[in-house]
C-alpha cells in the first residue's frame, strides 16, 4: 500500500533532521512512502471557529490532493500538521454540508469524499510492530535513559489523539524496543509554551526549565519528542533557561526518529 507523506513547512526548514531520519528509518523498515506532490500549508493551528470554513480549506485541499493521487493514507511527522489535518478531516467526515461547501469553493478536479486516513509516523511504526522493530535493531541503546515528551498536539483533543491523552505510552514502547529505558516522566504532556516562544520567550524558558528538570529528576539522559515546536522550545530555548536559572545544565533533546536511526544503524 502506498502512503503519501505530507511534510509541512518546518520539515523542509528547521526540522530537516526529523524528515531525513524519519524517511531513512521508514526505508529501512521497508515502508513505501512517497512525498505528496504539490502539497500546501497544512493550515497550521486548527481553527475552532465553526462558521469560518475558509480556515479549513488548506488542510482539506491537501487531503483532496492525496485522494486524487489515489492515496488512501496520508502520514505526517509534524504534530501540528497531524493535528490540523486529522481534525479537519473529522469535521468534514461528520458534516456533509460543510464538506459540500468546501468542495464547491476549492473547485479541485474531483470532490474530496472524506475518505483519506490521516496518520502520524508513530502510529505507522506501532502498526509495523515494536516487536518487529526490536528484531532489526543493530545497536541497542542499552543503558540509555530516555524521557519521552509528547506535548499536546498528538494527543488532544481525544478524538484524534494517537494515544491516551493523560498517560500516553506509545513513545515509551518504541524506546523500549530500541533497547533503551524509558523513565517515569510526569511532565510528559505538560505544555511547552507553544507559540509564546515568538512573543514571550521567557514563559517558554520557564516551562522548558520545569519540564527538563522533571526529566532530570527522574534520571533521564535525554529527552525525545516528535514535535518540531516542542523540540525548538525545549532545545533552542535552553539558552534562555540558562539566563533565568543559574546552574542549569543542558539536557540533550532529540527527535524520536534520530534515536531510531541510531539504533537501526543508519548513518
Partner 1 sequence: MRVGIFICHCGRNIASVVDVHWLKNEAAKLKNVVFCEDYIYLCSEPGQKFICEKIKELNLTHIIVAACTPSLHGETFSRTLESAGLNRYLLEIANIREQCSWVHQNTPEIATKKALKLIKAALAKLTYAKPLTPLKVPMIRKALVIGGGIAGIQAALDIANGGFEVYLVEKEPSLGGHMAQLSETFPTLDCSSCILTPKMVEVAHHKNIHLFTYAEVKNIEGTVGNFEVTIVKKPRYVREDKCTGCNDCVDVCPVIVPNEFDQGLGARKAIYIPFPQAVPLIYTIDLENCLNSKKLIVCENCFKACGPKAIDFLMEEEEVKIKVGAIIVATGYDLIPLEALPEYGGGRYQDVITSLDLERLLSPSGPTGGVIRRPSDGKIPKSIVFIQCAGSRDPEHGRPYCSKICCMYTAKHALLYKHAVPEGKVYIFYIDIRAAGKRYEEFVQGIVEEERVLYLRGKVSKVFRRNEKLVVLGVDTLTGRTVEIETDMVVVAPAIISNNGGKALAQILKTPVDEFGFFTEIHPKLRPVESPTIGIYLAGAAQSPKDISESVTQASAAASKVLALFSQKRIALEPIKAEVDVELCKGCGICVKTCPFGAIKIIKKKKKKYAQVSKAVCQGCGSCMGACKFRAINVAHFTLKQLFSQVDALLEG
Min dist. Cβ of residue 187 to partner 1 (A): 8
Task: Please report, for residues 14, 69, 114, 117, 262, the alpha-carbon distance to residue 3 in angstroms, rounded to integers and kept in the order given.
Answer: 24, 11, 17, 10, 24
Task: Please report, for residues 54, 67, 154, 234, the alpha-carbon distance to residue 102 in angstroms, rounded to integers and kept in the order given.
Answer: 8, 15, 25, 37
Host H or E run for residue 253: strand 253-255
- Closer to partner 1 at the Cβ: 32 or 159? 159
Min dist. Cβ of residue 171 to partner 1 (A): 17
Give dist(CA 170, CA 164) in Å, integer.
Answer: 9
Min dist. Cβ of residue 113 to partner 1 (A): 30
- Closer to partner 1 at the Cβ: 94 or 167? 167
- Closer to partner 1 at the Cβ: 78 or 206? 206
Min dist. Cβ of residue 120 to partner 1 (A): 21
Min dist. Cβ of residue 157 to partner 1 (A): 9
Give dist(CA 224, CA 147) in Å, integer.
Answer: 6
Give dist(CA 29, CA 178) in Å, integer.
Answer: 14
Host H or E run for residue 60: helix 57-68
Q: What number of other Cβ atoms are within 10 A of residue 263's Cβ?
A: 25
- Closer to partner 1 at the Cβ: 121 or 187? 187
Give dist(CA 160, CA 46) in Å, integer.
Answer: 12
Residues that bind partner 1 (CB under 8 A): 164, 166-167, 184, 186, 190, 217
Query: Over the range 59-72, which residues count as b (16 or more CB within 10 Å of their CB) and which as e?
Result: bbbbbbbbbeeebe
Smallest Cα–Cα separation from 256: which of 25, 100, 85? 25
- Closer to partner 1 at the Cβ: 127 or 166? 166
Q: Are strands 73-76 and 33-35 parallel, antiparallel or unpaired?
A: unpaired
- Closer to partner 1 at the Cβ: 129 or 186? 186
Min dist. Cβ of residue 41 to partner 1 (A): 30
Residues 6 or more apart whose CB falls under 8 angstroms from that of 4 comprise 33, 34, 35, 36, 66, 69, 71, 73, 74, 75
Min dist. Cβ of residue 76 to partner 1 (A): 25
- Closer to partner 1 at the Cβ: 29 or 191? 191
Amino acid at each position: 500500500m502506498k502512503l503519501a507523506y505530507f511534510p509541512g513547512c518546518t520539515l523542509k526548514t528547521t526540522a530537516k533532521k526529523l524528515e531525513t531520519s524519519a524517511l531513512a528509518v521508514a526505508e529501512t523498515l521497508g515502508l513505501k512512502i512517497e512525498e505528496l506532490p504539490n502539497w500546501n500549508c497544512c493550515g497550521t493551528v486548527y481553527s475552532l471557529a465553526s462558521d469560518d470554513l475558509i480556515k479549513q480549506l488548506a488542510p482539506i485541499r491537501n487531503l483532496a490532493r492525496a485522494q486524487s493521487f489515489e492515496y488512501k493514507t496520508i502520514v505526517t511527522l509534524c504534530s501540528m500538521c497531524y493535528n490540523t489535518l486529522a481534525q479537519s478531516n473529522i469535521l468534514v467526515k461528520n458534516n456533509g454540508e460543510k464538506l459540500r461547501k468546501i468542495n464547491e469553493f476549492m473547485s479541485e478536479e474531483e470532490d474530496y469524499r472524506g475518505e483519506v486516513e490521516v496518520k502520524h509516523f508513530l502510529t505507522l511504526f506501532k502498526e509495523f510492530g515494536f516487536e518487529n522493530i526490536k528484531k532489526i535493531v543493530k545497536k541497542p541503546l542499552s543503558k540509555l535513559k530516555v524521557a519521552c515528551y509528547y506535548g499536546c498536539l498528538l494527543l488532544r483533543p481525544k478524538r484524534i489523539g494517537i494515544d491516551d491523552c493523560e498517560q500516553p505510552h506509545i513513545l515509551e514502547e518504541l524506546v523500549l524496543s530500541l533497547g533503551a529505558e524509558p523513565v517515569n516522566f510526569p511532565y510528559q504532556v505538560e505544555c511547552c509554551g507553544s507559540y509564546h516562544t515568538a512573543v514571550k520567550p521567557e514563559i517558554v524558558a520557564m516551562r522548558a526549565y520545569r519540564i527538563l528538570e522533571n526529566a532530570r529528576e527522574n534520571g533521564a539522559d535525554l529527552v525525545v519528542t516528535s514535535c518540531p515546536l516542542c523540540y525548538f522550545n525545549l532545545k533552542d530555548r535552553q539558552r534562555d533557561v540558562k539566563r533565568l536559572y543559574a546552574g542549569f545544565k543542558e539536557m540533550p533533546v532529540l527527535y524520536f526518529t534520530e534515536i531510531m536511526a541510531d539504533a537501526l544503524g543508519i548513518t
